[in-house]
């Protein structure tokens, strides 16, 4: 167990950040899953900008790596182009 006041605060803040990061990551994964299930190109084209924005936000917060974000965006664009 932590002995210093600052260490106790760090434990509390780390838990808060962990839960927030889990929320953002799970939200992104759910959105990706629902996007991948789309079959209509017009609907997918309308939603792609919000998906890219969501991925960029998660990458900017360092919840996922920036290269992973680029790979995800690339795969989504390929999916739209091959519809």
**Tell me, what's the pLDDT at 67?**
97
Q: Tell me if 29 is assigned to some domain.
A: no
Expressed as residue numbers, the domain containing 81 is 40-83
User: Does the predicted TM-score (pTM) go above 0.75?
Assistant: yes
**Tell me, what's the pLDDT at 15?**
96
Q: Tell me if 73 is assigned to some domain.
A: yes
Q: Is 14 exposed, middle or buried (0-12, 13-18, 19+ CB in 10 A)?
A: exposed
CB 41 within 8 A of CB 83: yes
What average pLDDT score do residues 15-37 get?
Answer: 96
- Domain total in the chain: 1
Summarised one tens digit per residue, pLDDT across range 51-70 is 999 999 999 999 999 999 99
Least Cα distance to 80 among 52, 50, 38 occurs for 38
Average pLDDT, the chain: 94
Give the tokens for residue 47. Answer: 């939603």
Least Cα distance to 64 among 34, 32, 39 occurs for 32
Residue 81 CA to its chain's centroid (Å) = 22
**Tell me, what's the pLDDT at 1?**
73
Q: Tell me if 71 is assigned to some domain.
A: yes
Q: Tell me if 72 is assigned to some domain.
A: yes
**Tell me, what's the pLDDT at 3?**
84
Q: Tell me if 62 is assigned to some domain.
A: yes
Q: Tell me if 34 is assigned to some domain.
A: no
Give the tokens for residue 39. Answer: 């079959």
Q: Tell me if 64 is assigned to some domain.
A: yes
């Amino acid at each position: 167990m932590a002995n210093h006041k600052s260490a106790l605060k760090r434990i509390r803040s780390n838990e808060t950040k962990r839960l927030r990061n889990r929320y953002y990551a799970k939200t992104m994964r759910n959105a990706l899953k629902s996007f991948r299930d789309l079959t209509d190109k017009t609907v997918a084209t309308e939603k792609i900008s919000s998906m890219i924005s969501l991925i960029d936000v998660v990458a900017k917060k360092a919840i996922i790596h920036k290269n992973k974000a680029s790979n995800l965006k690339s795969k989504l664009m390929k999916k739209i182009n091959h519809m």
